Amino acid sequence: MTAPPGTPHPGQPKGPVPAPSGTPRAARAENPRPARPPGAPLAGGAHGPRALRPLLDTVLDALTTGTAERRGPLPAGGPAAVTAHLRATLGTVLPDHGTGDHEALRTLVHALAAGAADPADPLCAAHLHCPPLAVAAAADLAASALNPSLDSWDQAPAASALEAELTRTLAAEFYDTPHPDALVTTGGTEANHLALLLARERHGPRLTVLHGANAHHSVPRAAWLLGLPPATRLPTPAGVLDPATLAHALATTPGPTLVTATAGTTDAGLIDPLPALADLCDQHGADLHIDAAYGGLLALSPRHRHKLAGLGRAHSLTIDLHKLGWQPIAAGLLAVPDTALLTPLAHQADYLNATDDTEAGLPDLLGRSLRTTRRPDALKIAATLRSLGRNGLAHLIDRTCALAHHLAQRLDTHPGFEVHSPPTISTVLFRPTRATDDELATQRRALLHQGRAVLGRTRADGRLWLKATLLNPHTTAGDLDTLIAHLEGSTHR
């Protein structure tokens, strides 16, 4: 049954909504707030916060109970058990009659938390999948409630201004140039795609992309999507792109060339020799793109920024803040040394950026992304930067990298394990000393099925290695000891 107009929604206080304290009494009397409309409450508007507050309590309680039920970094039982449990809990996705806001949230949020691979658990360390900061998640709630869409100024007045300030500020962390700029992306894949698109527009469709075997898979895929010649994959037997290998490739590759280097490989966190690669690109007239999705934020740490020497010589940079920036997904950037390099992305749609509106001073946002509708992801990033500051973020980065070195040292001195090499950022590759590759793979899956630990896997030097990607700055030495104990138990089975 539809409630009569003015009826409070469930979970909202009864009675009139008080006017803001700064509103004159006469104005309040002449312009009373409109009655709440019937139906499901909205997250935004004058009544949005009141509607959200009780629902947030339900969500937080469900997160608590779901996490307690899981009792580890991920649910035990493997894919079949998790799927069966979720289906039994869910019943039907679209019932004929709704269960109400609180029941729906309580059931689904609890089920998602109970069945999560939780990156906030210290033993969940397989991928470049960070635990988001609470301040960033809270800011993301505000972004969802207000729901600005950054495809036209009249949908996102303050959000578009905030994004412009944020992108210029972060681009200046990487480029010492007069007009650096950056675009907000969904992550490294989109940023790499944009980088190749901009290079194609500079040099034409005969552009050749050279990349190391250590490059992210999105680089050759972007070349394919953009209709470029197949990207040339250069061998990286030592894990990084060797300058001599690149020099030979540049000398024998005709036509315009884009070299993509990596600052933080997905498998081992390695950083290519950026200054030498940049020198070669200058000598041969090639453009340089650096995928620093993993390692780029090391630039904020006085202790680690030397590892990124040469970063600012790239024509474009990929940066992810949902890795070492501790943001909820998604939070990526494509940075460039001059905003003019973004000109090829300009696009016109009369209903969003009519020429006379732009000439009258309304900002044109369509050239800031390949997407049309997009979220204000700048808000959570800006809230984090303001909350922690440069020093606070540097502390988290330094602590995370130190944890990786501690784990590598513990494993290196342990008779049951061998470490591939000291960590460059926060990734540790290791393996049981007497295990075959098949046994190692089986041991990893056993830990997953038991819900005891989440570790990655990769190949290096012709062998399979376990991969611990540490991104949780709250992990302790005791947590790492627990991880080693779980591994000791699995190797003895």
DSSP 106: H
Q: Residue 242: what pLDDT?
A: 98
Mean pLDDT of 337-354: 97
List pLDDT tens digits, range 412-426: 999 999 999 999 999
Report the distance separating Cα 308 and Cα 123, nearest Å: 29
Q: Residue 29: what pLDDT?
A: 46
Percent of the chain at pLDDT exceeding 90: 91
Helix (H) or strand (E) holding 468: strand 463-469
Reduce the DSSP state of residue 333 to 3 states and report it: strand
Hunting for tokens 């207000």 — which residue is that?
A: 146
Residue 125 neighbours by CB distance under 10 Å: 29
Q: Residue 15: what pLDDT?
A: 41
Q: Residue 489: what pLDDT?
A: 80
Residue 303 neighbours by CB distance under 10 Å: 12
The β-bridge relationship of strands 332-336 and 181-185 is: antiparallel
Partners of 317 in the β-ladder: 290, 335
Mean pLDDT of 230-254: 97
Mean pLDDT of 475-480: 97
Residues 6+ apart with CB under 8 A from 111: 66, 85, 86, 89, 90
Choose among 194, 205, 188, 181: nearest CA to 264. Answer: 188
Q: What is the pTM of this model?
A: 0.90
List pLDDT tens digits, range 121-157: 999 999 999 999 999 999 999 999 999 999 999 999 9
**Contact criterion met (CB below 8 Å) for 275 and 310:** yes
Choose among 393, 382, 349: nearest CA to 161. Answer: 382
Q: Residue 176: what pLDDT?
A: 97
Main-chain dihedrals φ then ψ at residue 299, nearest 5 degrees:
-60, -20
